[in-house]
């Protein structure tokens, strides 16, 4: 396809796109990476890059089909394209979704069902990536129940690509014909621009980079670029014009290009394996995308190479043919198996069960559903329109069916309404004021976020100003914080924002609250230290003194709210099942490093430390409800209704510690 000229002699020589056996092997590699990663095999700690491989492969295959149709006919039959996609993808996806809904309802708690049934609806309508992105940005999801259909996010990204890419291909063809541009160059530039955009998003919003369709576009466009490069090579090398000057070889010799296939396969492996470091998913994705591009290019140019022959072996081709169904089934097998208590801890036994059951279901689905459906002929316009219309209608019906298959009792809905209530939007409530009294700056992580409603009510009632500076998962001590899995958190911007707020407001009082400081590892000189490890407490103390030394000149008084006690389990599930509230009460527990950190904070001079433990969990027991109000939204966060309910008690407790907020200034002894 030199210039997408539908009437040109070269264009008419574009060969139909036929099945490529080695690409089945590529599918098999991608599917196994994802399955082994989700099964918990440490060797494939970054096996999620299998999804990146799928995206590149999808961009390559779809663009190859569309470009050849444009070349051969000068047009695209969009209805036929969507009908083929629906016939190929929709039946297995919706059947697995409905079967999963039935199985999940049998084993999951009411809390899990209420929390996750929206994901089933989103998956049915192919907007799951946006649903899970919104949920990932809700801190409640961190302690929430895993969704058995979360993996549908990648299918949603692909379907959204399929929806818009054919139309963009038509625009591309018009531009190419008018301005004599090279389509591979245009799409390649778009892919690079998408790569840069995804990197910028990843730097500030890792979840947005992971789930967002715009951030994944570069992977699909990378595959599209390879498709156009291969098509140009094919039309130039295999079918040169008659009476024309011998063409310049566009890609060097086939042998040389074919030799990059094993390098591409190695790059995918390196991106997936743990010794490649703990970098962000973005950089692992970039490595796997480049590797997949090299692998596909090598296989296309040298289809008889050793790598191509290995990827065309019977087992690889069979697994590749089952890869779509295997991907659909593997995550429900894991989540439902865990919910039912049928799976062992991560290890070889668990992996063997997951892989065995997944392949059994995938083989049955491929044989009994995928293969027969593909025989449905789309040889008339009427058939294509009917299939396309049925696909859209079936998706809507499936969404409604999933909702009906996952009922939740009124009691569970009442409990969850309290447990999942969100605090006031902090951006809109940057300053909550009831008058000309004291100015209070509230700084902290998600625990400060859920204390915010109580302090906001006190501010309105007593006439003082409250300024929140809050970032979930970020401790206020100046340490190199990480997620539970050891990936780094960027909390410096949050702390700098707090210091700027203090410099502007010159608050009478700063209230500091964090539990993440005793829940998560920190990185010290490149080494990951978990609570209780040698050197961990010293780093927390150093980070505490470092931040407080910057804050002291900007505020009159400093108050530290000590980490609240946790519970060994969420009490919400017990309440949602309709059990007697007293039977749902749970003992208060603390993480390993809590007591040492609290001791270090209490020894600080010119700082008041306040414990809420006796208020929230009197005598070491945390009640599940108080005056009919659910107290905890999970194992370590309070609910918004409860924090507002105890606002007066918090005020009294602060006064006992010498902190008085209702006068013209805030006093702290």
Whether 212 contacts 133, CB under 8 Å: yes
Domain termination residue (choose one: 408, 438, 472): 408
Residue 561 pLDDT: 96
The C-alpha atoms of residue 27 and residue 17 are separated, in whole angstroms, by 17
Cα torsion 451, 452, 456, 459 to 10°: value is 70
The C-alpha atoms of residue 24 and residue 109 are separated, in whole angstroms, by 39
Q: Which residues contact 427 (CB under 8 A, 6 or more apart)?
A: none
Q: Could you tell me the two tokens for 346?
A: 């991560």
If you compute the radius of gyration of the chain from its CA atoms, what whole number of angstroms results? Answer: 29
Q: Is residue 2 part of a domain?
A: no
Whether 528 contacts 575, CB under 8 Å: no
Residue 53 pLDDT: 97
**Same structural domain, 224 and 251:** yes
In three state form, how does the secondary structure of 237-253 look?
HHCCCCCCCCCCCCCCC
**Same structural domain, 45 and 71:** yes
Q: Is residue 202 part of a domain?
A: yes
Domain termination residue (choose one: 408, 443, 475): 408
Burial zone of 485 (CB within 10 Å; 0-12 exposed, 13-18 middle, 19+ buried): exposed
Residue 137 pLDDT: 52
The C-alpha atoms of residue 122 and residue 399 are separated, in whole angstroms, by 8
Residue 668 pLDDT: 56
Predicted confidence (pLDDT) per residue in 419-478, tens digit? 888 887 665 444 555 556 789 999 999 999 999 999 999 998 998 999 999 998 899 999
**Same structural domain, 357 and 428:** no
- DSSP assignment of 260-280 equals HHHHHHHHHHHHHSGGG-S--
**Same structural domain, 255 and 372:** yes
Residue 569 sits in a domain whose CATH number is: 3.40.50.1110
Whether 107 contacts 148, CB under 8 Å: no
Predicted confidence (pLDDT) per residue in 496-506, tens digit? 999 999 999 99
Residue 143 pLDDT: 53
State pTM to two decimals.
0.80
Q: Is residue 417 part of a domain?
A: no
Residue 253 pLDDT: 59
Count of domains forming the chain = 2
Residue 493 pLDDT: 92
Handedness of CA 436, 440, 446, 451 (dihedral sign): negative
Helices (H), 16-77: 21-39, 49-73
- Helix/strand/coil for 130: helix
Residues of the chain with pLDDT under 50: 1-13, 138-142, 241-244, 246-247, 249-251, 428-430, 664-665
Q: Is residue 605 part of a domain?
A: yes
Q: Is residue 616 part of a domain?
A: yes
Predicted confidence (pLDDT) per residue in 211-265, tens digit? 999 999 999 999 999 999 988 887 776 555 444 454 454 445 566 666 899 999 9
How many angstroms separate the Cα of 380 from the Cα of each of 68, 80, 293, 295, 593? Answer: 20, 9, 36, 37, 69
- DSSP assignment of 416-462 equals HHHHTPPPPPTTTTS-EESSSS-EEEEEESHHHHHHHHHHHHHHHHH
Q: Is residue 415 part of a domain?
A: no
Residue 4 pLDDT: 43
Q: Could you tell me the two tokens for 224?
A: 């599209």
Phi, psi dihedral angles at 389 (to 5 degrees): -65, -40
Q: Is residue 661 part of a domain?
A: no
End-to-end CA distance of the chain: 79
Whole domain around residue 570: which residue ranges?
A: 422-656
Cα torsion 640, 644, 646, 651 to 10°: value is 130
Residue 433 pLDDT: 56
């Amino acid at each position: 396809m030199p210039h997408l000229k539908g009437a040109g002699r070269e264009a008419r020589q574009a060969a139909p796109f036929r099945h490529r056996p080695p690409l089945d092997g590529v599918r098999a590699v991608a599917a196994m990476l994802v399955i082994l990663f989700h099964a918990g095999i440490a060797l494939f700690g970054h096996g999620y890059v299998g999804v990146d491989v799928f995206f590149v492969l999808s961009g390559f295959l779809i663009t190859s089909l569309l470009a050849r149709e444009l070349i051969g006919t000068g047009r695209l039959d969009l209805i036929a394209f969507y009908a083929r996609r629906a016939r190929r993808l929709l039946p297995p996806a919706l059947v697995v979704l409905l079967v999963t809904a039935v199985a999940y309802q049998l084993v999951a708690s009411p809390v899990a069902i209420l929390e996750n049934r929206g994901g089933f609806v989103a998956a049915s309508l192919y907007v799951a990536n946006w649903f899970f992105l919104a949920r990932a940005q809700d801190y409640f999801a961190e302690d929430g129940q895993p969704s058995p259909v979360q993996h549908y996010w990648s299918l949603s990204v692909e379907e959204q690509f399929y929806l818009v890419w054919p139309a963009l291909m038509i625009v591309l063809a018009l531009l190419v014909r008018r301005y004599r541009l090279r389509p591979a160059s245009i799409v390649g530039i778009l892919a690079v621009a998408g790569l840069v955009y995804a990197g910028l998003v990843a730097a500030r919003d890792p979840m947005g980079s992971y789930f967002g369709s715009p951030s994944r576009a570069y992977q699909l466009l990378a595959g599209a670029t390879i498709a156009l490069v291969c098509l140009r090579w094919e039309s130039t090398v295999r079918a040169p014009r008659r009476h024309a000057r011998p063409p310049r070889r566009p890609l060097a010799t086939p042998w040389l290009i074919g030799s990059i296939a094993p390098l591409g396969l190695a790059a995918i492996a390196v991106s997936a394996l743990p010794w490649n470091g703990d970098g962000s998913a973005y950089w692992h994705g970039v490595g796997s995308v480049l590797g997949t591009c090299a692998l596909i290019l090598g296989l296309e140019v040298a289809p008889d190479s050793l790598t191509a022959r290995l990827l065309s072996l019977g087992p690889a081709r069979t697994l590749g043919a089952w890869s779509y169904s295997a991907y659909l089934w593997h995550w429900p097998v894991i989540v439902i198996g865990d919910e039912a208590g049928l799976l062992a801890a991560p290890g070889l036994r668990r992996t063997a069960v997951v892989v065995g059951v997944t392949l059994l279901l995938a083989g049955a689905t491929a044989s009994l559903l995928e293969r027969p459906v593909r025989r449905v002929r789309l040889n008339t316009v009427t058939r294509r329109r009917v299939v396309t219309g049925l696909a859209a209608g079936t998706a809507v019906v499936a969404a409604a069916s999933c909702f009906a298959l996952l009922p939740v009792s009124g009691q569970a809905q009442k409990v969850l309404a309290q447990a999942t209530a969100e605090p006031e939007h902090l951006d809109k409530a940057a300053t909550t004021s009831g008058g000309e009294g004291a100015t209070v700056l509230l700084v902290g992580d998600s625990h400060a976020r859920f204390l915010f409603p109580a302090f906001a009510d006190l501010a309105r009632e007593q006439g003082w100003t409250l300024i929140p500076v809050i970032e979930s998962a970020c401790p206020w001590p100046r340490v190199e914080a990480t997620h539970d899995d050891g990936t780094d958190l960027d909390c410096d911007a949050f702390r700098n924002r707090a210091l700027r707020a203090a410099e502007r407001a010159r608050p009478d009082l700063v209230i500091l609250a964090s539990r993440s400081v005793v829940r998560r590892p920190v990185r010290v000189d490149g080494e990951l230290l978990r609570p209780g490890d040698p050197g961990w407490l010293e780093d927390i103390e150093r980070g505490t003194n470092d931040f407080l030394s910057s804050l002291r000149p900007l505020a009159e008084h400093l108050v530290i709210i000590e980490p609240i006690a946790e519970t060994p389990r969420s009490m919400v599930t017990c309440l949602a099942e309709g059990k007697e509230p007293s039977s749902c009460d749970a003992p208060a527990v603390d993480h390993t490093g809590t007591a040492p950190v609290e001791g270090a904070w209490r020894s600080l001079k010119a700082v008041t430390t306040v414990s809420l433990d006796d208020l929230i969990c009197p005598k070491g027991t945390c009640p599940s409800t108080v005056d009919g109000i659910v107290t905890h939204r999970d194992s370590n966060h309070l609910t918004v209704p409860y924090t507002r309910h105890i606002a007066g008690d918090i005020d009294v407790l602060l006064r006992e510690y010498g902190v008085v907020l209702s006068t013209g200034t805030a006093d702290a002894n």
